[in-house]
Every structure is written in C-alpha cells, then in structure tokens.
Structure 1
C-alpha cells in the first residue's frame, strides 16, 4: 500500500483503538468511584455504629464521661436523656443542645442523616447512629456519627486524581497503540509492496512477448503472400512457450506466498538423482552426481524437485563442460551444492542474483527462454522449507548452496 494510505490506515486504527480504550477507562473509572464511594460509606457506617454501641455500653455501666473522646476524627458523639438533657458530648459540639430529636424504636441502632450539625465553629452534614441505653440515672439515647462532607472530600480527591491521570494514561496508551499498530502493519505493508512490485514486474515481462506476438501476426496479415507461415508459426509457438513458462513460474511463486502445503519425510538424494537423470537426456555438458549421498529431509517432493531442477538448469546453461552436484548431511542439515565451470557470476550481479526477473545476460536469456524467475523460485522453496539458498565463493564458475534442516 502507498505510504499515505498506510499512514491513514494506521491513524484510523489508532484513533478507533484510542476511543475504545478511552470509553473502557471512563467506565472503569466510574465503577472505581462508585465502589470506592460505597466502600467508604459502608466502612464509616460500620465504624460509627460500633462506636455508638461502645458508648451505649459505657452508659449502661455508668462509666461514661462528660466529654466523649473515643468517637473519632470528623465525627460527633452525644448522649441525651429522655427529657432532652445532654449528658455527654464530643468536644466539637461544645455546649450545644441535642443534635436531633430522633429516638430509635427498640434496642437496635438506627441511622439518621442530619444537616447543619455544629462542628466547632462551623456546621456540617453528618450521618449518625442512634441507640437506646439505660444508665444509672435512667434511659438515654446515644448518637455517634461521621461527617458526610469528609467522605465526599475523599471521593472528590479520588475523582480529581483520576481526572489528572486518565489523560496521561490515555496519551501513553495511544502512543503505544500507534507503535504497536505500526509494527503490526509493517509486514502487511511490506507484503503489499512486494505484491505490487511482483504484479508490475509480471506485467512488464508479459508485455514484451505479447507485443512481439501481436507484431508478428500483424506483419504476416499485411503481407500474406510473402509471409513464410510455417516459419512464423514456429516463431509464435516458441514465443507462446516462453510465455507459458513465465506464467507457470509466476503461478508457482504466487503459491509460495499462500498457506504451507503438506510436507512429508522424503529422500532428497532420490529427488536430485531423478532430476539429474532427466537433464542428462538433453544436456550439452557432463552432469556429475558422484558426490550425492543419502539426505532425508522433511518437505514437499514437488517443490523440492522444482528447486533441484532450476539449479541444474541454471548450471547447465552457464557451464563450459561440467556440472558437479554434491549432497551431504552436515551439522546444520542437508547441504546441496550445484557448481558449474562457466564464467561465474560477476561481482556486480551477486547481490541481485536471486531477485525476481533478474537476468545477467538479456541476450542469452532470450535465446534459452529464461524467465528470470528460476533462482527466485529456488530461494522461495528453500525458505518455505526453513532453509536458505546462497551463492558461494567459487572460481572458476559459480556454486549455489542450499541448506535444508534435518527432520
């Protein structure tokens, strides 16, 4: 894909992922705040209720003091007799009267929400627990509660912390998403670029023989009486054969990019010897396979046969008098070497020798019908089998080495 389209796709994916993440973080924050609010209220309620029961027990024992000191911070406490007399109170209530007229029914504690209760020099809202108790001087009601405003401040602090941290977390996550999406799309973009280049090269390679094919027919039709039609037909048949070979090679390479085919245990030496036997029937040079030894590998017989056939055909085209084939098992697996005694590969071509459609000698390639895909197919098959295909240093001639892992 083009760089601009790739960036736009990356931006859209990152934006969508960031929005989804933002919604998730927002919902998670709301849940956290609600759970925190419930927990704080429940904890404060349990603490106030427990303290109210403790004060009620002190009233019943007659040990309560005028100043209640064990009701906690941001809390109030008060003991009021049935006639409204304040018997004991926390310091923040001072000498104020009863904080409420509510009296619970029965002996169980009951909660009440009170507004504008004195808290030193100001007033606050409190949630108090009331419980009836009977002391030496008669019945009384105990009130102990916590400030709801203090609870609200705790929740507000949490919300503020989340409001400050969430944008930072979202920004960091967006940056991470941008990087991860870029890394994820990079192989896709590279594959797309390879596909575009492959299609462009294939179109270019097919354009020339098709144009020549069309030109030959047009010339023949314009001069039907002077055209040697058998010769023209033989030329068209040769051009058609080259195009057919090119299409077969293109289809084979396209298949190499698809899902792996089924592999099985095979004897690579049998494949090598069979392909060498076929080539000897038409070869103009000697094919030496005396150095071929047993080499079991795990792979596709058809694909590996294509690999060996292309290596042998390439070596036979460039050899002067001999092609030498070697196959052994070494520490890395099966090592296949195909060497010729020709002119070798020029230094300026060594880095491109496995490129698709690369031909070192265009004139000779046209004579032999080479598509420029043979060595590319060798490399593709080797890599698909977990191996490598390389050009070794060799003089004179050229030596191609294929390593395949042992089963």
Structure 2
C-alpha cells in the first residue's frame, strides 16, 4: 500500500513536470513560429515596397511597354492600367495607398502566397497606384521547416524531461522508502533501532533526524516504563509477601496466634501499600501531564501545604525568607512537589522545617530545609531516583516508598526547572528553581 502511494507520487510528479515543460515548449514554439513568420514576411514586404517605389518613380510620363512580372499600375477608379505577366488578370490589393503606402498579402491564381506593397504615384498628371508583389515562398518554407523541427524536438524533449524527472523523483524518494521500510521493522522490543539518515540537510534529511529523535524519546520512555514496572513489582512484592506469610502462619496455628498483633502488622502493611499506591498514581499522572497549564501563584500553593503540616503539629514550620512568585504551570503537579518536599522534611526533621521562596532573575526558587540528620554523601546523587531509600529509611515503620523525591524531580524538569540538594550546616536543604514565564512541556 505504501509502495503504491510512493509510486503514485512519483507518477504524479513526473506527469506534472512533463505537463509544465510541455506547455512551456508549446507556448515557446508558437511564439518562435510567429516571430519567424513575421520576420520573413516583413522582409518580403520591404522588398515589395522597394520595387513599388522604384517603379513609381519611373512612370511620371508614361508606362514602359514591358513591366516586371509582379508589378501593376492601377488607376484611381480601380482599373488596372498596366501589369506584369504574372499579375495581368488579378488586382494585387484592393486597398488604395495613402501617402505612406500600404502593405498586405495576396494569393495569386497559381496559388502562390505573396506579400504586396502599394505606393501612390502620378501618371500624366493623374493619380495612380503602383503595386508590387514579393513571393512568400521562403517564409512559408521557413515556418514549415520550423514547425517540422518543433514537431520532432518537442516530443524528444518531453521524453527526456519525463525520464529525468522519473529518475530524480525516484532518487529523492529512495530515502523516504528506506525510512518507511525501517519503521515497519521497528517494534516495541526494537526501539534502539534508527532510520537511515541521508547526508543532505534537506527536508528528507530533517525528517529522518526528527524521526530518530522521536525514536530516542520513545526508547527513553519505554525504558523508564519498564524500569518503573519492575521497581513497582519489586516494591509491591515485599508487603504482599509479608501479609501472606503472617496470615498463613496465623491460620496454621490459630490457637497460638496473637491476632491483635497480626491485625496491627497487617494494618501497617496495608497502610504502606496504600501509600505506595498513592505515589504510583501520582507518578503516573505526572508522566501523563494531562492537567492544563495556567497561571499559578506558587506562594499560595506553598502556604496551603505549610498549613497542612502545621495542623499536624509534629514539627514547627518557619517561613524565611518568603515572597510572592507567579508562574505558568500545572497547579496540581506543583502542589505535589511542595507536599512531597514538606513530607520528606517532616519525616526527617527533629524540631523545625524552614521554607523559603523568592523570585529573581526570571526564576522562582523554593527552599525546604530541615534540622534532621541529613543525607549521607554517598546518597546525595541518588535521592531523586525512583524507589531509592537510604539505609536509614529502610525501616518499614519509618521509611517511605522512595517515590516522593523522584516525583519532585520529574515534575520540576517538566516545568523547565531543576532541583538539587544543597550543602547545609545541619539536616537537608532541597532547592527547586522554576522559570516564571515558560510553559511546561
């Protein structure tokens, strides 16, 4: 099907080239024939005018006994007074010459085409007209020869143009066909393959490079989804296995089982499963980026999330320094960024969380710091990876699921910003920088 469409494009472009060139050749040929006829006819008319003028100067007193074969003298009443042998029985031109003379064409009784010129003259004091004719045989032969040449040259040129267009279009479409064939071979398990890129920097070359960039993005997304599915399955396996083991042990020894403790353990694991599910849903929504982009007052978002932490009363929250910041983004995603940073800080803080917000140099910078134990140097570059938890946080009673900071990084980068862990005298200090006037991807 695709091959037939390619052939159809090739045929249409070739036909278009032949049509355009054909119309140009026909128009040019017609113009050339007209110019040839006009030039040859003009020369014949000049010759006839010269002959008529020369003879007119010779008949002031009387007409010679013998006239040139193609010359005749006509009186003012239209009577042929004298004529050469070839025009003795026909009047060359019905028009009477004025002061400037007159020209035209006439076909003699023998069928030959002539150019005719007439000039005024005087014979014995009476006005007459002298007409002379010049054969147009050479003009007709020239036009006929040119027409014959065009009749041969035009089809040959059209065949040459058609063949050249067919080859050129086929060569131009060859990379497109190669791209199409390679794309049909690429499957979900072969996203590492790329379409061939022609060396030229034309539309086809840019198309190939754009498709390869798209394939790179698809490969990256596919790899992220694969890793995400594997990590999610691994994280879900542990609490599910723990739930199943506790239930199987309890059911195997019902009389010796402390069911209150089992219920407590099951409750803890189900809470962990619920938290993990919530984070997975949030991460999936962040990857989808379905929320509309709008103007967001980041300071109001931060204050709303800070009020939630303050309401729990586990730690104190200070705002310093804090100023207004308005940017374009997705309000729900930005709320998730602030909430995850505050939840992480609340989880590790001993007594206090410090939140700062400033707007300068066309960027808004959010700082969330805590007075907790901080993050080991070995983990500073890993805290934003999915499902990463430090050794300290692996305690099931205290540790999270390792997705909060990963969501922070992905949402921030989608908004054209960056997030990093800064050096701090105590605890951890997370910085998020977002552009104020750039729409997120």
The alignment status of 1:220 with 2:257, answered yes or no, reads no
Residue number in structure 1 paired with 2:316: 287
Mapped contact 2:393–2:400 kept (Cα < 8 A): no
TM-score (norm 2): 0.64
Per-residue Cα deviation, 1:280-310 (whole angstroms, up to 9, x for no partner): 45565x4341415232334555443332232
2:376 equivalent in structure 1: 346
- The structure, 1 or 2, with the larger RCO (C-alpha pairs under 8 Å, 6+ apart) is 1
Alignment partner of 1:190 is 2:175? no
Query: Could you say which residue in structure 1 is the equivalent of 2:366?
Result: 336
Describe the shift of the 1:364–1:316 C-alpha distance in structure 2 as closer, same or farther (beyond 3 A).
farther
Partner of 2:347: 317
Cα displacement string for residues 40-89 of structure 1 (whole angstroms, at most 9, x for unaligned residues): 1332233224423443454455459xxxxxxxxxxxxxxxx9xxxxxxxx
Moved more, 184-193 or 150-159: 150-159
**Aligned residue in 1 for 2:285:** 255
1:38 to 17, 20, 23: 23
Q: How far apart are the structure 2 equivalents of 1:300 and 1:140?
A: 87
Structure 2: stretches of 5+ with no match in the other structure: 50-69, 71-104, 117-131, 179-197, 199-204
Residues 208/30 of structure 1: CA separation in 2 closer, same or farther (3 Å cut): same
Residues 156-189 of structure 1, C-alpha deviation per residue, up to 9 Å, x if partnerless? 4434543553344334666324333212332233
Q: 1:340 to 1:270 in 2, by over 3 A?
A: same
Aligned-pair CA distance for 1:365: 4.5
Which one has the largest radius of gyration?
A: 2
The answer to whether the 8 Å contact 2:364/2:436 transfers is: yes
- The structure with more strand, counted as a fraction of residues: 1
- CA displacement, residues 342-400 of structure 1 (integer Å, 9 cap, x when unaligned): 33323332222111111112763422241111111222333344433221122433210
How far did residue 317 of structure 1 move? Answer: 2.7
Q: Which residue of 1 aligns with 2:154?
A: 151
- C-alpha distance in structure 2 between counterparts of 1:56 and 1:329, whole Å: 87
> What CA distance in whole angstroms lies between the structure 1 residues aligned with 2:306 and 2:406?
20
Change in Cα spacing, 1:137 to 1:205, as seen in structure 2 (3 Å) is: same
In the other structure, the counterpart of 1:133 is 114
SS at match of 1:352: coil
Matches within 5 A, 1:70-81: none
Consecutive unaligned residues of structure 1, counting only runs of 5 or more, are 1-14, 65-80, 82-105, 109-129
Residue-pair matches, total: 331
Looking at structure 2, the residues matched to 160 and 309 of structure 1 have their Cα atoms a distance apart, in angstroms, of 68
Which one is further off, 274-283 or 330-339?
A: 274-283
TM-score of the two chains, using structure 1 as the length reference: 0.69
